[in-house]
Amino acid sequence: MSATVHELHPDVFTMRADLARVLQLARARRVGPEALLALTITKVLAATEPTVTTDIGVGGRGSLNSLVALVGPSGAGKGVAETTATEQIIVQDHNGNPIPTPVLPFGSGEGIASAYRPRGTDPEEQHLRTRVIFSSSEIDKVTALSSRTGSTLSSTLREAFMGEMLGAQNATTENSNAVPRHTYRFAAVLGVQPRRSAALLGEQSGGTPQRVLWARVGDPQAPRRKPADPGPLRITLPRLDGDVQMNVHHEITADYDQIQQDRLHVDLDGDDIDGHTRLVQLKVAAALALMESRTVIGVVDWEIAGMIVDRSTATRDEVQRILDADRKVEVVRRAEERAEGNLHADDHREREARKRVRDRIITVLSERGETSSSDLYKAVRHNLREHFDPVITELIVGNKITVASTNPDRYKLS
């Protein structure tokens, strides 16, 4: 079976036992396999301390912070997928102890920084927490927060994805909540209805959409009969004490280096929407390695992550097509409304013009009595004379005026 735009490549779930377990669990719980896999990746990455990083040989250390969009119409199962991940995906340390990760609602950009380090925290104090999953079931809330005057949410999401400094360092401790780079683990899960995703996709120039792992909440291939429930999936992380730099296979570093070299040739006005796609792939590959208790990212991890990210890109493109189609429909609708409005306006203007001609003719005949057609014509304003003949005919048919019996070119009131 080949992959379609509606499903993740089937080989992904057959390449490893833990991924097959994710698929079985998703089918047993009636949730989208793509969504559950994306949430599993999120939970694994969010369970690591910010001291766990990657080094691909490009730039500095790479953060494992992540952004996920669960895509589907209202009521399609975003909440059910998150609940399943919360209850059935158990991430534990190398000793088998579950690793709880706080889940907080989205707030402002400043609020994200404050979740780790509230304003007024003494410079010598540790962060309030180092790991958080931020969740919003509907993109509308995030859009509303981003659209507020002075909002820093959009830029904060991009900075957090890269593990850059958050918050602000002000003159006084009371007004400061700076969170230094690589001292926090950030993950975000956004529920996205395609027709309400314009604000997120509109951040293309800022680089937000390509930092997101997009996953459908549906399952077009879901079987009629559910498979047996395999029970919770327990993922044991490797020992991750202190600063841990995940090693990357040399074939991956060479591949990544070539991609980065190509990016250096992008023009200033070039369209580089996939500029961060390979970075997302690296983070997914890191999660896949961690799921097998490894700190070495191998070629197979990279290959599977590539399939997942290619599907993510296809989903993002599908959402964009839905938006584009809706925009075209809206453009046509507005054009039709304008055309209809113009017709109504034209009809109204013509009725008003004829009324003014009619009133003028009646007034002249009332004042002068029997009057020639040429004198009546001259009595009408220049810009209204195009309506003279039809109005005269209308008045005669309506028995408002009559043709003089002695001269057919003269008129009088009936």
DSSP strand pairing (66-71 vs 213-216): parallel
Q: Are residues 305 and 243 in the same domain?
A: yes
CA atoms of 145 and 154, how far apart (whole Å): 9
- Residue 4 counted as domain residue: no
27-48 residue pLDDT tens: 999 999 999 999 999 999 999 9
What phi and psi, each to the nearest 5 degrees, are found at residue 125? -80, 155
Q: Is residue 2 part of a domain?
A: no
- Rounded to whole angstroms, the Cα distance separating 216 from 135 reads 16
Are the beta carbons of 319 and 201 closer than 8 angstroms?
Answer: yes
The pLDDT of residue 121 = 80
In a domain, 339, yes or no: no
Same domain, 321 and 397: no
CB under 8 Å to 230, separation ≥6 — which residues? 21, 24, 25, 28
C-beta neighbour count of 354 within 10 angstroms? 16
Statement to judge: residues 380 and 306 lie in one domain: no
Please answer whether residues 128 and 118 qualify as being in contact, where contact means their C-beta atoms are separated by less than 8 angstroms: yes
| CA angle centred on 82, ends 78 and 84, rounded to 5° | 115
- pLDDT grade, residue 335 (50/70/90)? confident
Q: End of a domain among 265, 300, 331?
A: 331
Residues ≥6 apart with Cβ < 8 Å to 88: 25, 29, 231, 232, 233
Q: Would residue 362 count as lying in a domain?
A: yes
- Average pLDDT for residues 214-222, to the nearest whole number? 92
Asked if residue 213 belongs to a domain, the reply is: yes
Q: Which of the listed residues 288, 306, 331 is the one where a domain comes to its end?
A: 331
- What is the predicted pLDDT for the residue at 9? 61
Q: Residue 150's pLDDT band (boundaries 50, 70, 90)? A: very low
Half-sphere exposure of 344 (CA within 13 A, CB side): 6
How many domains, in total, are found in the chain? Answer: 2
Check which CATH number belongs to the domain holding 357 and give it. Answer: 1.10.10.10
Same domain as 238, residue 181: yes
Q: What is the pLDDT of residue 271?
A: 55
User: Are 190 and 113 part of one and the same domain?
Assistant: yes
End-to-end CA distance of the chain: 87
Whether the pLDDT of residue 171 is over 60: the answer is: no
Q: CATH number of the domain that 168 lies in?
A: 3.40.50
Between 126 and 140, the higher pLDDT residue: 126
Q: Is 9 left (phi over 0), alpha (psi -120 to 50) or beta?
A: beta
pLDDT tens sequence across 77-103: 789 999 999 999 999 999 999 999 999
**Do 127 and 182 form a contact (C-beta atoms < 8 A)?**
no
pTM for the predicted model, two decimal places:
0.77
**Which residues span the domain enclosing 60?**
10-331
Closest to 302 measured CA to CA, from 353, 345, 247, 354 = 247
So what's the pLDDT on residue 216? 94
Band (pLDDT 50/70/90 cuts) for residue 268 is low
What pLDDT score was predicted for residue 26? 96
Residues in the chain: 414
- Asked if residue 19 is part of any domain, the answer here is yes
Residues 119 and 217 in one domain: yes
Say if residue 399 is in the same domain as residue 279.
no
> pLDDT confidence of 348, banded at 50, 70, 90?
confident
Residues 261 and 319 in one domain: yes
Lowest pLDDT segment from 53-62, 155-164, 352-361: 53-62
* Domain limit, last residue, from 302, 331, 360: 331
Residue 63 has pLDDT above 80, yes or no: yes
Residue 336 lies in a domain: no
- Position 343 scores a pLDDT of 72
- The 3-class SS string of 92-128 reads ECCCCCECCCCEEECCCHHHHHHHHCCCCCCCCCCCC
Q: Is the pLDDT of residue 25 over 90?
A: yes
Same domain, 311 and 375: no
- Tell me the longest C-alpha to C-alpha distance in the chain: 119
Query: Which of 103, 241, 117 lies closest to 183, judged by CA?
Result: 117
148 pLDDT higher than 60:
no
Same domain for 271 and 404: no
Residue pair 35/24 in contact by the 8 Å Cβ criterion: no
Most confident of the following: 82-86, 167-171, 408-412: 82-86
Residue 67 binned pLDDT confidence (cut-offs 50, 70, 90): very high
How far is Cα of residue 367 from the mean position of the Cα atoms in its chain? 71
The mean pLDDT of the chain is 85
Question: Do 46 and 71 sit in the same domain of this protein?
Answer: yes
Q: Residue 151 pLDDT > 80, yes or no?
A: no
Residues 310 and 355 in one domain: no
Distances (CA, A) of 222 to 72, 74, 75, 214, 307: 16, 19, 17, 20, 20
